[in-house]
Every structure is written in structure tokens, then in C-alpha cells.
Amino acid sequence: MGIVIRQSIKGSIVSYVGAVIGMVSTIFIYPYFLSPELIGLNRILIDSAFLFAFIAQIGIPNAIIRFTPQLKKMGLIREAYRYALLLPVISFVFFGTLVYLGKDYFQGFFTENSPLFSKFFLLIIPFGLVCIYMNIIENFVVSYHRITIPKLIRDIILRFLLIGSALLFFYLQLSIDLYVMLVIVSYALAVLILFSYFKRLQRIMTPREKRKGIPKEILRTVFPYMGFMLIAGIGSNIVTKVDAFMISSMIGLGSTGIYTISFFMTSIIEIPSRATLQISAPFVSESLENNDIPKLKDLYVRYSSNQAIIGGLLLVILWANINSIFFLMPNGDVYSAGKYVVLFIGLGKLIDVTTGINNVILIYSKYHRYLILFVLALGIITVTGNYILIPILGITGAAIASLASYFIINTVVILFIYNRLGIQPFTLKTLKIISLVLLAFLINFLLPTLDNWFLDSLYRSLILLGVFVGFTYFYKLSDDLNSIVLKAFNMMGFGRKSR
């Protein structure tokens, strides 16, 4: 667990720096320099490109993590990585051709309410190629148990490039066409930097191998796995992106822009989970490969407890400051329409980070085929929920549908893993953590509102932080977090030294 903790801490630090940059850009820069419609266009183009990428990369990133331990033992890792870089070219040409031939059909969904997206629809093909290699190369690096540099590139460098694109668009009065190209070029530059780091890492950590080809018995295992991950992943990606697509189609890009801003605010809840989840994936794969269920259970339970506490704290702090955030935001009166999107999406993400490792366990286990059934059912529920609730409640309806989706899929997967592997992530401490989150929401509701936004945010945040840290430490809700708090006290000179 040592490397998991070290890389998670480093990755979390980078992610939080990136989150600060992202929060500043999302709350202050983009709403000032870009219209809600253009923000919505950004969201739908990026989502479309990554959805296309997921299909065209044909399950390769998952296979990299799943089979790296086995391929390393056989001295075939460099050979496998060469295949992983070449195969997407073939699938990209195939799926790109399908998108081009079906452009009239796909554009028809957006022509009436989001004509701007229809105009740029075909750009998702070259943009998707960039996203394919971003995903694949990131997983190459993660397979070496390194997540900090990929996060630095995606969460900091890329965000600065995108901010620069928005500033150039505004101050140089560029056309929308040129702005969209700048966004795509920003992603391409990030991929080039990431690939350069991967090649350096490979030279250091992987010895030269004789090219001998991957045995057919390995390929007979890898390719079916990739196929299942592709089918299951298509549904999963559609589920996570369908809200933006349906809002754009049923309401318009302006509403998508408002939804995007509110949705991004909740991303702070996921940051610790992303770092831990990414570095934990190889260890989950190794535990399943070695049938080490006790080790897997320990990782499962500790991950869930830690993320429930951290995610709960971040959600409560975010909600306590939501009015101040919209007050400070340029055109905040427009974007405040997404206030309850923050609450419902935040609750959904809290559920997801608390149970997040269950999907990793399922993906890398011999039961990964069942994922297709789960995602198919989830897709039907999500699309139906959005179709019913968006006309009634607008973007808030889409957020409620997403909350229901998070709850349903994670509940089903937890029950399935418990039935097959005999492990589940919850303990008595989980009930205490839920009670703590509810108590914090109640305290925030009862606290009087101050006239000064800064003082109001400051005293609410300090009180809620004190409640969380105090309850977590004194009721020993997490051994890992208690150890961190104790070490911090010792470093400051007034804590008890551990024996």
C-alpha cells in the first residue's frame, strides 16, 4: 500500500492545484469571456470526442491494466505496447468512416435547438483521434504505478492551454471556428507531452526485449476481454454523457452551458477518488490475478470509508458556499439556475466515490462479462429518466436522473460482487459516516446567514471542517485519516507521539 499512498498523495496535490485552476477558470474566466452557448458547445464537443475515442480504442486501455502483470512476467510488455499503439489506427479509420456516413442522422438530433454543434459535428473525428491516444498513453503510464505526471499534464498544463484559447478568442476577437480549432490543438499538445514522458519512463523501467510476438493463447484471452470492455464501456460512457446530449437536443446549448458549470463545481468531490482509484487499479488486478481476496477486501473497505469521509466533507463545504459562489461569478444570476444541479449531482458523485472501486473489481475480475447487462439496464433507466424529467424540471431534472443512475448501478454492482466474491465495502463505520454528513447538512441549514459573503463563507466552512475532523478523529472513522491527523499533530509539536 506504500506506493498507493505516496502516488495518491502526490496525485491528489496535483489534482487539487488543477481543481483550483479549473474552478477559477470555470467560475470567473469562462463565464466572462465565453457565452453559455459556447461553454455548452465546448462540453458537447469534448464529450462527443471522448465517446468516439472510447469506441475506437476498442477496450485497449482496460486491457493494458488487466494484462500488464502477466505480460511483464513473460517479458512481452514492450511488444504489447507496440500493438496497443497500432491497433487504434485501424479502428479509427473504420469508426470514423461510419460517423462520416451517418452525419446527417446524428446532426438531425441537434439541428433545431443546437445548430452550432451540428455545424462542428464532423470535428469529433480528428478530435477523437487525439483523445484515443490520450487515454491509451495515460494507461501505459499508470501501468508503471505512476499517476502524478499524467495528472499534471491533464489537470494543469491542459487547463492553462484551454484558458489561453479562451483569452485569445476574446481579446483577438477570433471566430468560433478558430476557437474550436485552438481547443483541439490544446489537447493534441497535451498528448505529445504525455507521450514524451511515457517513452522516458519506459526506457528507465522496462528492459529491452527480443521481438518474439505475443503467444496465441494470450491473444485468445486479450481480444475477447477487449470486446467485452468495449461493449460495456459504450453503455457506461453514454450513461455519463447522455445528460449533456439530451439537454442540448431538448433545450439548447445555453442550458448545456449552465449545466456544465454546475456539473464542474461538483468535480472537486471526485479528485481524491480519482487519484486513489487510478493508482489502485493495478493492485486490484494483481490481487485478482493471485486470488488474494483478503488483500482485495482490505483495499475495498479502506477505499470506501476514506472516500465517503473526504467526499462528504467536500460536498457539504461546496453546498455551504454555493450562494457565495454564484454571487461572485460573472453573470452569476444566469448560472444560478444550476444551483440544485450542484446538490443532486454532488450527492450522486458522493455515492459514486464511496463505492467507486467496485467497478474496478468487476472490470478486472472473471465476471467482467456481466458488466454488459448492468450497463444496458442502467442506460435504459438513465435515458428514460432524462426523457421524463428534462421537460418537467429542465436541467435539474437531468441532475436528478443522474443521481438515480449513480445509486442504481452502484447498488447492483455491490450486491453482485458480494454474491460472487463474498466482499462488500461497508461496515458499521459507514452508518456513522452517513450520520456525520447528514448532521453537517443540518448544521449548515441552521447557521444564520451573514450579510458579508466572505465572513459567511469563512465561518460556515470552519465550523463544518471542525465538525468533520473532530468526529472522524475521535470516533476513529478511518485509520488512514486518523494516522494522517496524528502525524500532523506530532509535526506541530502538540500531538502524542505514536509508540
| pLDDT tens for each residue of 260-300 | 999 989 988 887 787 677 677 778 878 887 888 888 888 88
Give CA–CA dist 3/312, Å, rounded.
Answer: 25
Domain positions in the chain are 2-426, 427-499
The model's confidence at residue 222, banded by pLDDT at 50, 70 and 90, is confident
| pLDDT tens for each residue of 304-329 | 888 899 999 999 999 999 999 999 99
- Predicted structure pTM score: 0.79
With 50 as the cut, is the pLDDT of residue 344 above it? yes
Which pLDDT does position 86 carry in this prediction?
A: 82
| pLDDT tens for each residue of 120-167 | 999 999 999 999 989 888 887 877 777 788 888 988 999 999 999 999
Q: Describe the crossing of helices 395-421 and 253-265 by its angle, rounded to 10 degrees.
A: 50
Which residues, other chains included, contact 214 with Cβ-Cβ below 8 Å and sequence gap of 6+?
71, 76, 79, 80, 83, 222
| pLDDT tens for each residue of 450-497 | 989 899 999 999 999 999 988 888 888 877 777 776 776 667 665 554
| pLDDT tens for each residue of 158-172 | 999 999 999 999 999
Give CA–CA dist 407/146, Å, rounded.
Answer: 31
